[in-house]
Amino acid sequence: MSLLAVAGQVASWTVGLSVNPLTLLGLVPVFAAGLMFMQYIAVDPESHPVDATKLRPTYDFIVVGGGSAGAVVASRLSEVEHWSVLLLEAGGDENEVSDIPTLSGYMQMSQFDWMYQTAPPTDSTYCLAMIGDRCNWPRGKVLGGSSVLNAMIYARGNRHDYDRWAAEGNPGWSYEDVLPYFMKSEDNRNPYLAKTSYHATGGYLTVQESPWRTPLSVAFLQAGKELGYQVRDCNGELQTGFMLSQGTIRRGSRCSTAKAFLRPVRNRPNLHISMYSQAIKVAIDPKTKMAIGVKFIKNGKPYLIKAKKEVILSAGAIGSPHLLMLSGVGPKEDLEELKIPVISDIKVGYNLQDHIGLGGLTFIVDEPVTFTKTRYQTMQVAMEYILRERGPMTSLGGIEGLAFVNTKYAPPSGTWPDIQFHFAPSSINSDSDQVRKITGLRDSIYNTVYKPLKNSETWTILPLLLRPRSTGWIKLKSKDYKIYPEIIPNYFTYREDIEVLTEGIRIALNVSATKAFQRFGSRPHKIPFPACRDYEFDTDEYWECSLRHFTFTIYHPTSTCKMGPATDPDSVVDPRLRVYGVGKLRVVDASIMPNIVSGNTNAPTIMIGEKASDMIKEDWGVKIMI
């Protein structure tokens, strides 16, 4: 095959992406040939799941959504040979470009992304630096879901999170209950981690550190020590501390849940995977109030496939409540307003929680040690990745380090930190065009604040609020499935959220002031957002104004189908994830979290899929051993 033909093949893989990576790298023939080469040397080069075209009229289980939880559930339920399982995914399959860790940002605003946006706040309290005062909320519309879009960070949350779930009336969800399910999935390939009692090998999901990092990653760990924190495995016994990022990567490439859980079982005759199949409604018998199947659209054709045993919604914290409400399960007043017959009047879409922080908190250094597009998108770097699966392109979305720190508002035990840091040896100026696109940052803001840094060496800490008090909701706007629901995150309703984040920002400033970073001449970038010019740098008012402008979500929406006991009026599902008021219907994804976990949500969502699979098996008479 000629290089021109190879380049054409690679271009076909990237149709719909926000940028063609060949243009991105300026290496059309070399990178094109390399990607084609990778396709053939991959361990499982032809193992992508096949899109089922001949569907049965009935399956035992229908799983809606092939993302971080749904891929797990479909894989695990199909382990029972006499059960038939249909997995419906609204998007298509991932490709070789999405496998490249450093290009994670380019998966957003592509055909892999639902491209949700928040509703503009009515009181001008957040997302004010974004076009239309709307924050982008990327969600995966692809086999593997948001595990194809994210930065691949593997973080489990805090043991107190899960103990709190159990204490609030959810037996079986304590830390001791869920830890085995984290370990069941895991194939940890860092020897110093794998040999501990908190990690495991041999699971479907590969977890390891990136094989490449900048010198600033070492400075980040040293800075943590200077501030009195330990460098530790924050997925181990204790969470508080600093660490190199652990991620869901395998031999330098992304390990999505589709790659981990679906590709190895793609030939099971009892598992059908139907892509480009958008669910539009759960079919529920109004007399018995039992789920009987799923209505969906595939290739423009409507289908109704029935489920003998259960329908399982794994469409995510936006998609699952949207489908429930379209099906007559949700707040009675809202459904009646849209003339949707009410099957079960429960608080679907409420309790929306998300991790937010200050975007663009930038520091400048004097040495050429940061991650910039011009420095690392070169022929040498591309060939190192293609031939050795190493080098800068293996970076976990640019996130080299994590830290979990305690502000003065954190519980006095010190074991339940309230702020998380994502450390990146780059900033908005390092890849300005794409960052502006995926954040929706206004050009006027970028030109004023970040354009002056165009040729500077910069790094970033993203300080995140781990347990926000403010909650929002997902509200149905129409009975037409094509119209997205309204997303109202209600950021900063509670002033305490601003106060905790302000303290977190000041700890980040202290990181820059350590000897470890001062050897590079680190100092904060102080050009304010235009609307914050009247406030002195590092005052409470300055940081509040900054937070309300560059309100940054790390894309962790949860809790819109809250798990809880029947005595809790806000609960949507019971502790076995069965929907209240409807039989044969469960929700299995991040939406069931009663409270958001203290860390990145992908690993906990996979754990939920693992645990739910065993609960479903138990409820249908299959003996479980874990």
- Residues annotated in the binding site, as ranges? 142
Give DSSP secondary structure letters for 124-139: S-S-TTBGGG--EE--
How far CA 166 is from CA of 75, 235, 315, 373, 618, in Å, comes to 27, 20, 24, 46, 20
Measured between alpha carbons, how far apart are the two ends of the chain, in Å?
A: 49
CA max distance for the chain: 72
- H-run or E-run covering 116: strand 116-117
Which DSSP symbol is given to 106?
Answer: G
Alpha carbon distance 490, 570 (integer Å): 18
| DSSP strand pairing (419-424 vs 523-524) | unpaired
Indicate if 556 belongs to the active site.
yes
Residue ranges of the annotated binding site for FAD are 142
Which DSSP symbol is given to 441?
Answer: B
Phi, psi angles (nearest 5°) of residue 426: -160, 175
Alpha carbon distance 461, 509 (integer Å): 9
Give DSSP secondary structure letters for 62-105: EEE--STTHHHHHHHHTTSTT--EEEE-SSB---TTTT-GGGGG
Residue of 272, 355, 549, 556 marked active site? 556
560 Cβ neighbours under 8 A, 6+ residues apart: 317, 318, 320, 321, 348, 349, 350, 351, 352, 473, 474, 572, 591
Strands (E), 326-367: 329-330, 344-345, 356-358, 362-365
Beta bridge partners of 250: 253
Q: Would you say 30 and 379 are in contact if contact means Cβ atoms under 8 Å apart?
A: yes
Alpha carbon distance 157, 397 (integer Å): 20
Helix (H, G, I), strand (E, B) or coil at 240: coil
Which DSSP symbol is given to 297?
Answer: E
How far CA 204 is from CA of 199, 248, 258, 424, 614, in Å, comes to 13, 11, 10, 28, 16
How far CA 313 is from CA of 89, 169, 531, in Å, comes to 11, 22, 43
Enumerate the active-site residues: 556
